[in-house]
C-alpha cells in the first residue's frame, strides 16, 4: 500500500513535472532575461549622453549609488509612504467595511461610490487632487479652510509627503474596503448573536469577533498593497516631481531620475537591482507572515 503510493507519487511527480516544464521555463525566462540584463547594465559604464564612455565598470555604479545621500533618503521616503498608506487603508478600510455591512437605505449605491476611487487612473486622480483639491488658490481644501477663517495651505510645497500619502491612500482605501467587505459577508451571524446574548457590546464584538475573523483578509490586503505601493510613480510624477528637494523622491522615482533625467543607464540599473532586492526582502517577510496567518 505504502510502497505503491509513494512510487505512484514519484511517478506522478515526474509526470506532472514534465507537463509543467514548458510553462514554468517560459515564466522563468520571462523573469530571468530582464533581470540578467538589468544586472549586466548595472555593471557597465553606460550613459546615453556619453557615447564614447562605455565599458565594464565593475561595482563603480553601486559604489556611487550607496554613497549617494539621495538613495538613503529615497529608501526612507519609500518606507514612510508604504507604511502610512498601509496604516490608513487598513484601519480605514476595516472601519468602513463594518459601516457598510450595516443595513441602511441606499446601501448599494453608497458601496459603489465608496469603491469607485479605485477605478480612477493614478495620473488622473493625481491631477484632480493637484488642481481641484489641493491648489492653494482655487482648490476645494483651501475653500474649506477659508470657511473656517484659516489660511490656505500650499499642500505640495509645505506638506509634500503628506499630500502624496493622502492621494495614494484615497486610491487604495477602496481596494482594502472591497476585500474586507467581502470577508465580512462570511462572518457567522449566529456567533455575533450568541456574543450579544452574553452581553457583549458592539466594541467588544468588533475586537473579539469581527477583527479575528478579518485577520486573513487584512494580511492579504497588506501583502497586495505592499507590492503595488513600493513602486508608486505616477502620483509623484504628476504632482511634485519628487520635490521639493528630495522630499517625495521614492526609490522608483529616483531610478526614473537617474535613467531619464540624467540618462545614466548604468546607475539606474544599479538602482533597479537594489529595488528588486528590497522588494524581495519585504516579500519574504510578508509571505511568511501571511502564511503563518493562514495556517492558524
**Which residues lie below 8 Å from residue 227, measured CB to CB, with a gap of 6+?**
279, 283
For the chain, what's the residue count? 296
Under rule CB under 8 A, residue 235 binds another protein: no
φ, ψ of residue 120 to 5 degrees: the values are -90, 135
User: Residue 164 burial (CB < 10 Å; 0-12/13-18/19+)?
Assistant: buried
Under rule CB under 8 A, residue 263 binds another protein: yes
Under rule CB under 8 A, residue 58 binds another protein: no
Judged by beta carbon, residue 51 or residue 201, the one nearer another protein is: 51
In angstroms, the CA 218 to CA 112 distance is: 21
Question: Residue 133 Cβ, how far from another protein at the closest point, in Å?
Answer: 14
Judged by beta carbon, residue 202 or residue 244, the one nearer another protein is: 244
Cβ atoms of 219 and 205 closer than 8 Å: no
Question: Residue 264 Cβ, how far from another protein at the closest point, in Å?
Answer: 7
Segment interacting with another protein, rule: CB under 8 A, options 97-105, 151-159, 188-196, 224-232: 151-159
In 3D space, the residue among 82, 170, 182 whose CA is nearest the CA of residue 119 turns out to be 170
Under rule CB under 8 A, residue 264 binds another protein: yes
Judged by beta carbon, residue 173 or residue 257, the one nearer another protein is: 257
In angstroms, the CA 218 to CA 286 distance is: 12
Number of H helices, E strands in the chain: 14, 2
Under rule CB under 8 A, residue 55 binds another protein: no
Under rule CB under 8 A, residue 149 binds another protein: no
Question: Residue 26 Cβ, how far from another protein at the closest point, in Å?
Answer: 28
Give the binding site for another protein (CB under 8 A): 48-51, 53, 64, 67-70, 135-137, 152, 154, 156-158, 160, 241-247, 257, 260-264
Amino acid at each position: 500500500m505504502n510502497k505503491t503510493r509513494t512510487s505512484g507519487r514519484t511517478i506522478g511527480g515526474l509526470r506532472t513535472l514534465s507537463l509543467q516544464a514548458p510553462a514554468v521555463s517560459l515564466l522563468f525566462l520571462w523573469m530571468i532575461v530582464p533581470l540578467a540584463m538589468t544586472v549586466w547594465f548595472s555593471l557597465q559604464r553606460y550613459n546615453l549622453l556619453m557615447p564614447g564612455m562605455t565599458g565594464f565598470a565593475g561595482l563603480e555604479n553601486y559604489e556611487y549609488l550607496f554613497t549617494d545621500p539621495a538613495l538613503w533618503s529615497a529608501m526612507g521616503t519609500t518606507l514612510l509612504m508604504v507604511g502610512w498608506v498601509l496604516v490608513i487603508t487598513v484601519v480605514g478600510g476595516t472601519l468602513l467595511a463594518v459601516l457598510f455591512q450595516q443595513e441602511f437605505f441606499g446601501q448599494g449605491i453608497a458601496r459603489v461610490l465608496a469603491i469607485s476611487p479605485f477605478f480612477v487612473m493614478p495620473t488622473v486622480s493625481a491631477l484632480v487632487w493637484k488642481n481641484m483639491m489641493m491648489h492653494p488658490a482655487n482648490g476645494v481644501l483651501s475653500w474649506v479652510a477659508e470657511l473656517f477663517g484659516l489660511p490656505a495651505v500650499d499642500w505640495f510645497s509645505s506638506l509634500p509627503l503628506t499630500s502624496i500619502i493622502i492621494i495614494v491612500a484615497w486610491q487604495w482605501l477602496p481596494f482594502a474596503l472591497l476585500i474586507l467587505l467581502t470577508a465580512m459577508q462570511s462572518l457567522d451571524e449566529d456567533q455575533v448573536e450568541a456574543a450579544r446574548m452574553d452581553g457583549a457590546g458592539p466594541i467588544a464584538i468588533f475586537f473579539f469577533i469581527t477583527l479575528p475573523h478579518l485577520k486573513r483578509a487584512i494580511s492579504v490586503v497588506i501583502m497586495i498593497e505592499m507590492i503595488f505601493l513600493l513602486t508608486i510613480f505616477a502620483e509623484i510624477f504628476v504632482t511634485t516631481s519628487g520635490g521639493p528637494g528630495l522630499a517625495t523622491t521614492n526609490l522608483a522615482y529616483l531610478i526614473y531620475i537617474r535613467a531619464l533625467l540624467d540618462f545614466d543607464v548604468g546607475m539606474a540599473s544599479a538602482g533597479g537591482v537594489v529595488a528588486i532586492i528590497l522588494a524581495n526582502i519585504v516579500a519574504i517577510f510578508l509571505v511568511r507572515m501571511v502564511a503563518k496567518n493562514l495556517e492558524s
